[in-house]
Amino acid sequence: MPPNKLTGKHILFIGGSTGLGLAAAREALSSGTKVTLASSSQDKLNRALKDLSSDNPEGQTHSLVIDLLRPDIEHALNELRTAAMEVHGPINHIVYTAGDWFPHVPLTDITENNFVQGARLRALVPMLLAKQVAQGAWLPRSRSSSLTFTGGNISQKPTPGFLLPAFIGAGMEGAVRAMALELAPIRVNIVAPGFVDTELWGEMRGLLAERQEGRVLTGKAGQAEDVAEAYLYLVKDGNITGQVIRSEGGAMLLSQESRGR
């Protein structure tokens, strides 16, 4: 039986205290990976570590607080890199799932301010992170290293009032292809999920998840533990780079009318 590609590797999950990041970290930990979670909330990190420890008491986990809204974001990223390496050694893979919920903003209400706010976590920080990877400090320059971002299916099937996430998501998909060229042989990819039933949606979570039943071919809202498999696939497949992996329950195959029922 071939060896597990993740055993002994160090994966940094930025945005890993909840949702997709935590689900992917849990899956990685079960494969013997050294896991570092990074998030802006110490309370969420504490809960995440407790959760991971209950599933895998022998797992190697650590958490670090990072404020991605700091004006000196590049300095914050450098601090994160140094702290992560001090605990678990060199980083082999980075999985970036940080992002907040996009409010409903029609085209007529878009401003410079809400555009910049919306793009910060989902485009600017990923770009600066990739820049630092290109400078050579984060990852070994090898096809065994990877950088995986998070986009959204809305880039391909937009909804009225959500131009901002569609714009940013489509931009990130193009950026990932360009990053793959510049960072080679380090692999760069992006997961673009549809709706996923996570804490991101707050009080609307239950209602939105229920609505998804008639809007996807699978008949059920996406689950974090399922979409997590996409991240782990991109981490493990040394032959994939510059690609978008979509996990959206077949929503793109349904008409707008079908999705609205």
Domain 10-197+222-244 has CATH 3.40.50.720: yes
Residue-level length of the chain: 261
Axis-axis angle for helices 73-88, 125-134 (nearest 10): 60
Residue 259 has pLDDT above 70, yes or no: no
Q: Where are the domains of the chain?
A: 10-197+222-244
Residue 257 has pLDDT above 50, yes or no: no
Residue 261 has pLDDT above 50, yes or no: no
pLDDT, mean of residues 13-34: 95
**CB contact set of 200 (below 8 Å; sequence gap of 6+):** 18, 19, 99, 100, 101
Comparing 28-32, 74-78, 213-217, the range with the smallest average pLDDT is 213-217
Beta bridge partners of 64: 38
**Alpha-carbon dihedral of residues 61, 21, 123, 221, nearest 10 degrees?**
180
Q: What is the spatial distance between Cα 168 and Cα 105, in angstroms, rounded to a whole number?
A: 14
pLDDT, mean of residues 66-81: 96
What are 112-132's pLDDT values in tens digits?
999 999 999 999 999 999 999
What are 184-237's pLDDT values in tens digits?
999 999 999 988 887 776 677 767 777 778 788 888 888 899 999 999 999 999
pLDDT, mean of residues 165-180: 96
Q: What is the spatial distance between Cα 86 and Cα 81, in angstroms, rounded to a whole number?
A: 9
